[in-house]
Amino acid sequence: MFNKTEEKIIELLNSLASSFILVYKTIISCFMKPFETNLVIYQMVGIGLRSLPVTILTSFSVGMVLALQAGYSAMYVFNEPLYVGTIVTFSIIKELGPVLTATVITGRVGAAITAELGTMKVTEQIDALYTLGTNPVKYLAVPRFLACITMIPILATIANIFGVVGGFVVSRYKLDIPSTVYWTDTLDFLKIDDFFHGFIKSVFFAAIIAFVAIYKGFGTKGGAEGVGKATTQAVVTTLVLILVIDYFLSALLVALRIG
């Protein structure tokens, strides 16, 4: 029993060490020539532009639901749908926008990165890059990392906008709240720090998505079955890390008076 526990601990420590080494190599390689601009742009299109429809739909729907629930809850307590715009805006911009965007991107992009790199690993294409004198981290990891930390915060910002608009649609046409009241509640209490609260979170979430997907992809073993396992592990690990780190980021940003 002790031997199995010891092996698990050693395996965990080895995984942590390998992941930190990969993070270090990826960040250092971002500043090394040559710069693979075309690869970065290609990944930005795949990660950002092609994820835009599902991101907008998700955020818009959540904004609508949030406004509906907030409005009816306020009517139950105050007999009037008070401060619906404030509740929707702060909930979306500071919390739901970044988290939901990261969740959607994890399922769509994180899984795809892991599967793609994992397939290259098990078919020995990554080993072939070493043989040809090409650095796989520079050629494969860096473009995906740069694309993630660039596009995911932009997607989160767009998600914020459509989430607030979704709340407005329900407030105006379902709860009969005048447009001026909703937008006054939205803008009167909103500060630039509140925007940066969510924006900073989205940058950290983007880095988590990229690094976990790349690490699991590079570490894939066992053929097609291994690719499936690596993809599942990448998605689950990323979602857990996002939800756990979200609290600590929120506490830190509040302590720093950012939002």
Give the pLDDT confidence of 182-200 residue by residue, as tens digits.
999 888 888 899 999 999 9
Do 51 and 108 form a contact (C-beta atoms < 8 A)?
yes
Q: Is residue 127 part of a domain?
A: yes
Which positions ≥6 away from 243 have C-beta within 8 Å?
99
In this predicted structure, the answer to whether residue 35 has a pLDDT above a threshold of 90 is no
Q: In the predicted model, what is the mean pLDDT of residues 137-143?
A: 93
The tally of CA atoms less than 13 A away on the side-chain side of residue 154 is 14
Check the CA dihedral 112-113-116-121 and report its sign: negative
Does the residue 159 lie in any domain?
yes
| pLDDT > 90: percent of the chain | 69
Q: Is there a domain that residue 1 lies in?
A: no
Confidence of residue 134 (pLDDT cuts 50, 70, 90): confident
**pLDDT value, residue 170:** 95
Only one residue has tokens 């407005």, namely: 168
Is residue 98 one of the residues assigned to a domain? yes
pLDDT tens digits, residue range 50-102?
999 999 999 999 999 999 999 998 888 877 888 899 999 999 999 999 999 99
End-to-end C-alpha distance for the chain, whole angstroms: 48
108 lies in some domain: yes
**Residue whose structure tokens are 């979704």:** 166
Q: What's the chain's average pLDDT?
A: 91
pLDDT of residue 2: 53
Question: Cβ of 6: how many Cβ atoms within 10 Å?
Answer: 10
32 — pLDDT class (breaks 50, 70, 90): confident
Q: Quick check: is 2 in a domain?
A: no
Residue 157 placed within a domain: yes
- Provide the domain count of the chain: 1
What confidence tens digit (pLDDT) does each residue in 68-77 have? 999 998 888 8
The verdict on residue 8 lying in a domain is no
Range of the structural domain that residue 108 is part of: 16-27+35-255
CA distance 71 to 82: 7
